[in-house]
């Protein structure tokens, strides 16, 4: 059901410093910051030959990333994202198998302009999973 690894998301306490580190120290291709109001984050994508890194920074007081950074002040891996061909079919299959879909269970448009869903980390070995339809 799952396809390629789309990205690994890292919550960071300083978006500019993290982007500069990937660009200047590691020599990676770093995109411009994007505010994602519906998700409460500002993101920067780092393009690698085989996948992407998504840097996450809180946008607004209700941002889910704010709480993550309060528990992990240095930042850290927040989630991993896998590609799926049909997000609704994937959701239905996962729910039938007992997996919990976060939010209202309906896909929302993610940072790439495509439908996404998040799966509860307690159902996946402590890892928050994002599915993105491609």
Q: What are the angstrom distances between the C-alpha of 33 and each of 20, 24, 58, 126, 129? A: 12, 16, 12, 28, 22
Rounded to 10 degrees, the C-alpha dihedral 130/95/84/48 comes to 20
Name the maximum alpha-carbon separation found in the chain.
Answer: 46
d(CA 86, CA 126): 24
Q: b/e for 11-27, b at 16 or more Cβ within 10 A?
A: bbeebeebbeebeeeee
Whether 29 is catalytic = no
Please identify which of the residues 54, 130, 132, 133 carries the catalytic annotation. 130
Catalytic residue positions, numbered: 130
């Amino acid at each position: 059901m799952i396809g390629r690894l789309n990205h690994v998301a890292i919550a960071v306490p300083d978006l500019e410093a993290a982007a500069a580190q990937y660009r200047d120290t590691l020599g990676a291709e770093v995109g411009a910051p994007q505010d994602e109001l519906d998700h409460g984050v500002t993101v920067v994508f780092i393009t690698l030959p085989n996948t992407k890194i998504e840097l996450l920074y809180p946008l607004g007081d209700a941002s889910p990333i704010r709480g993550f950074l309060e528990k992990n002040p240095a930042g850290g891996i927040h989630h991993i994202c896998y590609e799926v061909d049909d997000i609704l079919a994937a959701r239905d299959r996962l729910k039938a198998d007992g997996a919990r879909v976060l939010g209202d269970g309906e896909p929302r448009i993610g940072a790439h302009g495509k439908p996404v869903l998040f799966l509860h980390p307690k159902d996946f070995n402590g890892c928050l999973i994002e599915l993105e339809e491609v």
